[in-house]
Amino acid sequence: MPQVVQQAALTVDDRIDSDYFACDPPVIQDRVDRVRNAYNALCDTAARRREKLEESRRMHLFFATMSEELAWIRERMQLMTSEDTGRDLTSIHSLLTKQKVVCLILRSKLISFCQ
């Protein structure tokens, strides 16, 4: 509960305990109780909203990650379906190196995906 509400409640409690009554103590206590209840309801509502926002953030992050992965897969699919087999030993070596790199990345992605 915020400091202001707590301080007001303590002040009301002190006034009720003394002989000074600007208003009936039950009326004052009712108002204090309503403020406390309203504040608690606000805190509960804020907590539920935060949970929904966090869930929404996780969902959008998941979709963004999946979109990136699909784009990466499409790029690699073009590379893997290429009919280019090289024109000389240097280009063949380069293509084999790219092939090995893609296979290593695929393995690491598969391992991290399965965990």
**Contact criterion met (CB below 8 Å) for 95 and 85:** yes
- Locate 27 and state its tokens: 């009326």
Those residues with Cβ within 8 angstroms of residue 8's Cβ, 6 or more apart along the chain or in another chain: 32, 35
pTM equals 0.61
The per-residue pLDDT of the chain, averaged, comes to: 86
How many other C-beta atoms are found inside a 10 Å radius of the C-beta of residue 84?
A: 9
| pLDDT one-digit tens code per residue, 7-48 | 766 676 666 666 666 677 788 789 889 999 999 999 999 999
Per 3-state DSSP, the chain is made up of helix, strand and coil in percentages (nearest 5) of: 85, 0, 15
